């Protein structure tokens, strides 16, 4: 099976000298849901930001057969949807509907096409009733659903979700897990929420000091690095 | 958050809100040009402009007190120049500086309170305002709110630990300001990444259709005629 994402020996250093990625090699296959685990600052988010060209280090990154370059970025950003950790950063338009159509309109769709896609996406995440609301009036769970709708409206092949359960109460978390489980896209979950990862992910990779040090079934990776909360 | 008030006003329903942004922009520009070019000796014109603006506020069903207060934010800046004119023996010029700047600010505030930003920017595009100026306006608008949000979060955090009566020292205020800008910078960086991730390429798309009707043309022409009428009445 051809991988959707191929990363070879990816290295990246921030301007302040921090070596965030130190030779990451990774594959994501169609239908997979991979959880990225690891301590804060271990390189998970930095790695994800490389996958749609928001950061660029050395090494090779290929998405759906396209190597990341300035010319391929618009195509790649249609194929990878990123749901950021802080929904407030993602929702910047005055109303929910305007925010969800932002991506499709940038893809060059006409206003009716983009609106139709946005309404479908809002329906799918159960947020159709919020379409006319201002994003800052929504609860954390609603914001998360709208942020996901904004990405789904672009019909990406791959979804990256950075700490998707932050600020969510257990029912909202459960609802999100159900929604993600139903979505056919390949997914990358960056999370510290082990129960959430175990419910959704088909495998996990563990980041340490900017490299992947272990991969396998979620429970095995969690057990190996003692990544559970307990007294 | 406080900043959303004007944005919320701009999405209300009224005969002025319904007008096309281009018609409102032409009307506002005519008013500002008329105000700016009215001689300082024509104080009665200032009263006439005020009446026109008050009628517009009434028709747009906006809260007058809040608008009067917000427009007054411009006064500290003009007060310095007005004071200099007063001290140099030209009180007429000093008062003209104050009413001109206040009424111009009120007009601009009325425009943004009755027109969603995205429509207003499209009207500016229509007026052939350079693209980079529009882009700067968009980001300025967005990031001013980012800074305001961050400032409010920091204020709440400081109150929680210092109580209401605590007064900030100069050093403390300077440190807080530097932290505010660093936090705002990081926040703005996050927003920009989220925009790029969804294909942002320097242009804010919109689904709002533009329809410049006969009524819009009449509104723009009538408003411009009233402004110029007052300007040249004496």
Closest Cα in chain A, distance from residue B52 (Å): 30
Residue A129 confidence (pLDDT) above 70:
yes
What pLDDT band is residue A199 in, cutting at 50, 70 and 90?
very high
Name chain A contacts of B197, Cβ cutoff 8 Å: 52, 54, 77, 81-82, 84
Distance CA A220, CA B31 (A): 71
Name chain B contacts of A54, Cβ cutoff 8 Å: 193, 196-197
- For residues A63-81, give the mean pLDDT: 91
Distance CA A151, CA A122 (A): 10
What pLDDT band is residue A63 in, cutting at 50, 70 and 90?
very high
Q: Which of A54, A86, A114 is the closest to B207 by Cβ?
A: A114
Task: Choose among B3, A173, A111, B166: nearest CA to A119.
Answer: A111
* pTM metric for this prediction: 0.74
Residue A137 confidence (pLDDT) above 80:
no
A98 touches chain B (CB under 8 A): yes
Strand order in the sheet with A66-67: A19-28, A5-13, A58-63, A66-67
DSSP category for residue B208: P
pLDDT for res B20: 92
Task: Choose among B145, B2, B155: nearest CA to B70.
Answer: B2
Distance CA A81, CA A159 (A): 5
Contacts of A165-170 spanning 24+ positions with Cβ under 8 A: A165/A191, A165/A193, A165/A196, A166/A85, A166/A86, A167/A87, A167/A140, A167/A141, A168/A140, A168/A141, A168/A144, A169/A141
Closest Cα in chain B, distance from residue A74 (Å): 6
pLDDT for res A98: 87
B118 touches chain A (CB under 8 A): yes
Q: Which two tokens stand for residue B191?
A: 């927003």
Q: Which of A54, A77, A136 is the closest to B199 by Cβ?
A: A77
**Pairing between strand A5-13 and A58-63?**
antiparallel
What pLDDT band is residue B2 in, cutting at 50, 70 and 90?
very low
Residue numbers of B between 141 and 170 with CB closer than 8 Å to A: 142
Go through B60-99 and write b for each residue having 16 or more CB atoms within 10 A of its CB, e for each that does not. Answer: bebeeeebeebbeebeeebeeebeebbeeeeeebbbbbbb
Cβ separation B198–A106 shorter than 8 A: yes
B201 three-state secondary structure: coil
- For residues B51-77, give the mean pLDDT: 93
What pLDDT band is residue B4 in, cutting at 50, 70 and 90?
low
Identify whether the C-beta of residue A20 lies closer than 8 Å to the C-beta of residue A50: no
pLDDT for res A5: 96
Query: Could you tell me how far CA B128 lies from the centroid of its own chain?
Result: 20
Count of residues for chain A? 231
Task: Choose among A165, A45, A150: nearest CA to A107.
Answer: A150
Residue A226 confidence (pLDDT) above 70:
yes
Residue A193 confidence (pLDDT) above 50:
yes
Q: Which of A78, A105, A136 is the closest to B1 by Cβ?
A: A136
Cβ separation B194–A84 shorter than 8 A: yes
Identify whether the C-beta of residue B64 lies closer than 8 Å to the C-beta of residue B116: no
Q: Which of B194, B199, B207 is the closest to A106 by Cβ?
A: B199
pLDDT for res B60: 94
Q: Which two tokens stand for residue B111?
A: 């425009």
B192 touches chain A (CB under 8 A): no
> In chain A, pLDDT over 90 holds for what percent of residues?
63
What pLDDT band is residue B1 in, cutting at 50, 70 and 90?
very low
A90 touches chain B (CB under 8 A): yes
Closest Cα in chain B, distance from residue A115 (Å): 8
> What is the number of other CB atoms lying within 10 angstroms of the CB of residue B208?
12
A vs B, Cβ pairs < 8 A, gives 71
Stated as kind and residue range, the H or E segment containing B216 is helix B214-231
DSSP category for residue A221: H
Q: What is the mean pLDDT of chain B?
A: 85
Name chain A contacts of B201, Cβ cutoff 8 Å: 74, 106
Identify whether the C-beta of residue A35 lies closer than 8 Å to the C-beta of residue A197: yes
pLDDT digits (tens, 9 = 90+) for B147-186: 777 788 887 877 777 665 666 677 777 888 888 888 778 8
pLDDT for res B167: 66
Distance CA B8, CA B115 (A): 10
Q: Which of B7, B200, B207 is the closest to A115 by Cβ?
A: B207
> In chain A, pLDDT over 70 holds for what percent of residues?
100
Q: State the sign of the Cα–Cα–Cα–Cα dihedral A174, A175, A178, A180.
A: negative
Residue numbers of B between 1 and 20 with CB closer than 8 Å to A: 1, 4, 7-8, 11
Chain B, nearest residue to A136 by Cα? B1
Cβ neighbours of residue A167 closer than 8 Å, sequence gap 6 or more? A87, A140, A141, A144
Distance CA A50, CA A55 (A): 5
Cβ separation B198–A77 shorter than 8 A: yes
pLDDT digits (tens, 9 = 90+) for A14-34: 988 999 999 999 999 999 999
Cβ separation B7–A94 shorter than 8 A: yes
According to the 3-state scheme, what is the secondary structure of B49-117? HHHHHHHHHHHCCCCHHHHHHHHHHHHHHHHHHHHHHHHCCCHHHHHHHHHHHHHHHHHHHHHHHHCCH
> For chain B, percent helix, then strand, then coil, each to nearest 5?
75, 0, 25
DSSP category for residue A68: P
**Pairing between strand A186-190 and A211-216?**
unpaired
Task: Give the residue, B220 or A95, on which the prediction is more confident.
Answer: B220
A152 touches chain B (CB under 8 A): no
> In chain B, pLDDT over 90 holds for what percent of residues?
39
Question: Backbone dihedral region of A43: left (phi > 0), alpha (psi from -120 to 50 degrees) or beta?
Answer: left
Task: Give the residue, A190 or B173, on which the prediction is more confident.
Answer: A190
Name chain B contacts of A114, Cβ cutoff 8 Å: 205, 207
Cβ separation A77–B196 shorter than 8 A: yes
CA distances from A84 to A45, A68, B62, B189 (A): 9, 20, 37, 12
pLDDT for res B209: 67
Closest Cα in chain B, distance from residue A134 (Å): 9
pLDDT digits (tens, 9 = 90+) for B105-152: 999 999 999 998 878 888 888 888 887 788 787 777 777 777 777 788
Q: Which of A106, A111, A151 is the closest to B200 by Cβ?
A: A106
Chain A, nearest residue to B2 by Cα? A136
């Amino acid at each position: 099976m051809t991988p959707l994402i191929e990363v070879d020996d990816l290295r990246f250093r921030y301007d302040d000298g921090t070596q965030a990625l130190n030779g990451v090699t990774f594959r994501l296959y169609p239908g997979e849901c991979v959880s990225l685990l690891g301590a804060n600052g271990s390189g998970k988010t930095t790695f994800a930001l490389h996958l749609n060209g928001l950061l660029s280090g050395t090494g090779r990154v290929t998405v759906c057969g396209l190597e990341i370059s300035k010319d391929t970025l618009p195509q790649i950003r249609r194929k990878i949807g990123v749901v950021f950790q802080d929904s407030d950063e993602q929702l910047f338009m005055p109303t929910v509907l305007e925010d969800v159509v932002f991506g499709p309109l940038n893809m060059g769709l006409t206003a009716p096409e983009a609106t139709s896609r946005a309404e479908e996406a809002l329906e799918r995440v159960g947020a159709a009733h919020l379409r006319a609301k201002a994003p800052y009036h929504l609860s954390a769970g609603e914001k998360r659903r709208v942020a996901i709708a904004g990405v789904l409206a672009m019909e990406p092949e791959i979804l990256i979700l950075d700490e998707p359960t932050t600020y969510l109460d257990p029912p909202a978390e459960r609802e999100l897990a159900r929604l993600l489980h139903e979505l056919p896209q390949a997914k990358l979950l960056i999370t510290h929420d082990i129960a959430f990862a175990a419910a959704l992910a088909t495998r996990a990779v563990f980041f340490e000091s900017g490299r992947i040090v272990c991969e396998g079934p979620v429970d095995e990776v969690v057990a190996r690095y003692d990544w559970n909360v307990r007294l | 958050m406080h900043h959303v008030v004007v944005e919320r006003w701009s999405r209300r329903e009224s005969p002025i809100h319904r007008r096309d942004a281009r018609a409102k922009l032409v009307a506002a520009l005519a008013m500002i040009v008329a105000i700016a070019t009215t001689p300082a000796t024509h104080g009665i014109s200032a009263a006439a402009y005020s009446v026109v603006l008050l009628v517009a506020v009434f028709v747009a069903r906006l809260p007058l007190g809040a608008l009067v207060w917000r427009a007054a934010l411009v006064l500290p800046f003009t007060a310095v120049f007005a004071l200099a004119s007063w001290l140099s023996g030209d009180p007429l010029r000093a008062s003209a500086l104050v009413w001109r700047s206040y009424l111009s600010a009120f007009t601009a505030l009325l425009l943004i309170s009755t027109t969603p930003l995205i429509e207003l920017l499209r009207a500016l595009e229509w007026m052939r305002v350079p693209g980079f100026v529009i882009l700067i306006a968009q980001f300025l608008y967005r990031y001013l709110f980012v800074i305001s949000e961050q400032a409010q979060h920091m204020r709440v955090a400081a109150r929680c630990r210092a109580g209401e009566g605590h007064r900030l020292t100069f050093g403390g205020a300077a440190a807080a300001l530097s932290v505010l800008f660093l936090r705002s910078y990081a926040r703005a960086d996050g927003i920009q990444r989220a925009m790029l991730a969804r294909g942002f390429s320097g242009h804010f798309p919109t689904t709002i259709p533009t329809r410049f009707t006969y009524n819009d043309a009449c509104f723009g022409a009538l408003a411009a005629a009233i402004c110029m009428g007052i300007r040249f009445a004496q």
